[in-house]
Structure 1
Amino acid sequence: MHRAPDGTAYDLNGPDNAPVVVLIHGLGLNRACWQWTVPALTDRYRVLSYDLYGHGQSAPPSDTPNLTFFSQQLSTLLDHCGMDTAVLAGFSLGGMIARRFAQDAPDRTDALVILHSPHKRSPEAQDAILKRVEQACLEGPNSTVEAALERWFTRDFRQANPDMMDTVRRWVTANDIAIYHTIYRVLADGIDEITAPTPPITCPTLVITGDEDYGNGPEMTHAIAREIDGAQTMILSGLRHMALAEAPDAINAPLRSFLEKLDSQK
């Protein structure tokens, strides 16, 4: 583990001079959620994974969190690591941060991989997530984690993998009750910043979700892709939100293929 001057905890893996891929985790998680992805990349890519402010081993946010705040964290980290540009792969909230960064620093964004990330929600879905934010504010992450595990993993996988459920549960419940809800609100309210981006995002983009990811489903994936010229979509059959942990190859294979295609076009 490395630590940047601003308190960001991060890991670097893979060859020193290889193309850079940055992995950005989702709400309540930490960089350990990429443990099933990193080994699929590090023979050919320099992989940077890090903890968002207020998560894992990183410092708490120094200001009220929003997408621009997290975009600046990434910019500062790239500067610290001496990286000019990168491919950004963002999961859920991380996919929102990746899109914000692509708007803020298009010259530093080689490509995007957006995993299980939201677009504009229906009024009913927006009301539901705001209720979860309020619940997290009053009662902390313990109050929302069991419902989250049901949304994130299929029933059969949950039943067959109690150790993984315990691991993910520990990641979520380790979050500070005073901070967690403020970042949860970014997931809920930040979507307007990255919907119909102006100027539009133009870098190569791959958008993936599962057909059972009910909060970030296929219709959202296609909506994200429609706003990015040339973006590709992939819908994973029989998988929910955390496909990267439940079925790593379902994410790793298209991610690797996308990266190799980018390399071939240079």
Structure 2
Amino acid sequence: MPFANINGHSLLYTDIAPSGNQEPKLTLILIHGLGSTQNYFFPIFPYLAAYRCIVFDNYGAGRSKYDGGETSIPSIGKDVLGLLDHLGVHNAVVIGYSMGAIVPTYLAATSPDRVVAGVCIGPVHPSEGIANVFKQRIATVREGGIETMANTIPNAATGSKATATQKGFIREMIMGQTPKGYIANCRAIETAHPPEYAKVQCPVLIIAGDQDKSAPLAGCKEIFSSLGTHEKNKRLEVLHGVGHWHCVEAPDEVGPLVRDFCRQLI
């Protein structure tokens, strides 16, 4: 398993070459959300075989162990750029999910030369209400351990179309977290501020679930309307019967949306 030392900590990453070893026309880097790992994105990779795809376990999540360092949206963004530098990539399509979906717009606003385009899947829109939810979640995990999340989230955060197998996959990803790492990533959401959406000028695709309680459609619409991106270069797609685990619940809807969006960038 390849690990890279990025910003003083070790990140597990996977670097997937395009099918047929063809020269990639685009490089995609994908950032998962709270409670998940890089494996969250694997159900959509069959649709992205024409591109180089770089995916990693966030610091403090999955196999990228937490050792007490900073975890925040800016620090995750710094890790993304550091991993791209490590792999010799100047710019990429930045794709994020949930907490990780704050990162594409954050980087597009702060490091626009590094972001070809952004894809935000179930993006969290930071607010006082969101901060309070994750403050409470920290207390719950401290008291009951990671099992408290693994035993509730797979049912509570998915939509009506989710299968038992999909819920089991979600549970396994959550059980792969350490309490300290999970709490650190909860705190990253608790302390997050909305990116400067008006500064975003690159193409952006937002994918929302109409049954998503963690990143409700209203917040996705607010992000969409606040983007500085020209109207013709931004899209909001809503998946019906889908909750917060879009790539697991509906890979055959998410994958083609991301693939077609990327095709338009070439």
Alignment TM-score, normalising by the size of structure 1: 0.88
Q: CA deviation at 1:142?
A: 1.3
Q: How does 1:92-241 map to 2 (within 5 A)?
A: 92-121=98-127, 123=129, 126-155=131-160, 157-158=162-163, 161=164, 163-190=165-192, 192-194=193-195, 197=196, 200-228=199-227, 229-230=229-230, 231-241=234-244
Q: CA deviation at 1:96?
A: 1.2
Partner of 1:60: 66
Bigger shift: residues 132-141 or 203-212: 132-141
Cα distance in 2, alignment partners of residues 260 and 156 from structure 1: 28
SS at match of 2:71: coil
Partner of 2:5: 5
Partner of 2:29: 22
Q: CA deviation at 1:198?
A: 7.0
Cα distance in 2, alignment partners of residues 152 and 106 from structure 1: 33
Cα distance in 2, alignment partners of residues 221 and 199 from structure 1: 15
SS at match of 1:112: strand
Cα distance in 2, alignment partners of residues 257 and 96 from structure 1: 22
Structure 1, residues 172-221: CA drift from partner, whole Å, max 9, x if none? 1221112211211212331x242xx0761111001111110022121111
- Partner of residue 54 from structure 2, selected from 48, 53, 66: 48
Q: 1:208 touches 1:233 (CA, 8 Å); kept in 2?
A: yes
Cα distance in 1, alignment partners of residues 109 and 68 from structure 2: 23
| Structure 2 spans left out of the alignment, 5+ residues | none
Q: 2:132 touches 2:190 (CA, 8 Å); kept in 1?
A: no
Q: 1:53 touches 1:61 (CA, 8 Å); kept in 2?
A: no
Structure 1, residues 18-68: CA drift from partner, whole Å, max 9, x if none? 1101111111111111111112111x1111111101112223255221111
Bigger shift: residues 206-215 or 128-137: 128-137
Alignment TM-score, normalising by the size of structure 2: 0.88
Partner of 2:94: 88
Indicate how the Cα distance of structure 1 residues 222 and 198 shifts in structure 2: closer, same or farther if over 3 A, else same: closer
Cα distance in 2, alignment partners of residues 220 and 188 from structure 1: 16
Cα distance in 2, alignment partners of residues 157 and 100 from structure 1: 30
SS at match of 1:118: coil
Q: CA deviation at 1:165?
A: 2.5
Indicate how the Cα distance of structure 1 residues 10 and 185 shifts in structure 2: closer, same or farther if over 3 A, else same: same
Q: CA RMSD in A?
A: 1.9
Indicate how the Cα distance of structure 1 residues 239 and 155 shifts in structure 2: closer, same or farther if over 3 A, else same: closer
One-letter identity of the residue aligned with 1:30: T
Bigger shift: residues 18-27 or 112-121: 112-121
Q: CA deviation at 1:234?
A: 0.9
Cα distance in 1, alignment partners of residues 41 and 123 from structure 2: 16
Q: 1:36 touches 1:244 (CA, 8 Å); kept in 2?
A: yes
Q: 1:90 touches 1:97 (CA, 8 Å); kept in 2?
A: yes
Cα distance in 2, alignment partners of residues 114 and 145 from structure 1: 24
Q: CA deviation at 1:134?
A: 1.8
Q: CA deviation at 1:168?
A: 1.9
Q: CA deviation at 1:150?
A: 2.1
